[in-house]
Amino acid sequence: MIKVLHIGDIVGAPGRTLFARVAHRMRAEEQVDVIIVNAENSAAGRGLTPGLAEELFAAGADVLTLGDHTWDQKEIMPYLDREPRVVRPANFAPGCPGRGITTVETPKGRISVMSLIGRVFMPPADCPFRTADELLKKREQLGPMIFVEIHAEATSEKIALGRYLDGRVTSVVGTHTHVQTSDEALLPKGTAYLTDLGMTGAKDSVLGRALDPVLKKFLTGLPTKFEVATDAVALEGVLLTVDPKNGRAAKIKRIRETT
């Protein structure tokens, strides 16, 4: 069996530091074989830079995923074209830099990671359901283990996508809300599912951002710079146990590691 750790949105330096610590320990203890990380808030809460991507790979990540903050750091655009281990949502407009699915070889077999972005309460994007269908037409190239991340606001959209892909992929997990849900399950046809992985960042915060600026924004409506919070940092996600021969998930376990 292969053990895959899928981590929720890393927020700034506090999240990156804790991720490196937990990833090193879990790999040293042979608790995980592959690590997938949502990195779209790694650069002070907004996007990802090439340098920070390399930092996360050095810390233990095998694949990095992005979301609605993909383009916040402009230097990421050429990097996405040359680094296959970073995926942005596949249902962005055609012609965007980068890729929405990647396949990497691991000591325990080939894995593919697909990134999608939701459309409910989110910026315009192509249909994630039909995009997934198109990508899965090439499944002989993808291998049996296919991990799908849906970066979306609405829980209904995430649940619907999980059910839509049930039996066709190894797992469907959500990101973006930074709040970990408690509905982890093996769906009827065998796909592992969780509505939201949560985040890897400061819990004494509003979604990883310092309290006072966020409260000021809510109270006044005035433009405010949201600083990354630093207290009570936690890493959240799931640990998946998967049969590499058929790609079916045998177990899904929600995790939270704190400082």
Tell me, what DSSP letter sits at residue 40?
T
CA distances from 251 to 29, 30, 137, 184, 192 (A): 19, 17, 26, 10, 7
What is the rounded CA–CA span in Å between residue 191 and residue 177?
22
The catalytically annotated residue of 69, 151, 176, 178 is: 69
Question: Which residue type does 129 have?
Answer: F
What is the rounded CA–CA span in Å between residue 141 and residue 16?
32
| Structural contact between residues 179 and 196, judged by C-beta atoms closer than 8 angstroms | yes
| Helices 50-59 and 12-28, axial angle in degrees (round to 10) | 30
| 6 is known as an active-site residue | no
134: left (phi over 0), alpha (psi -120 to 50) or beta: alpha
- The CA-based diameter of the chain, rounded to the nearest angstrom, is 56
> Of all helices (H) and strands (E), which one includes residue 6?
strand 2-7
Residues with a known catalytic role: 69
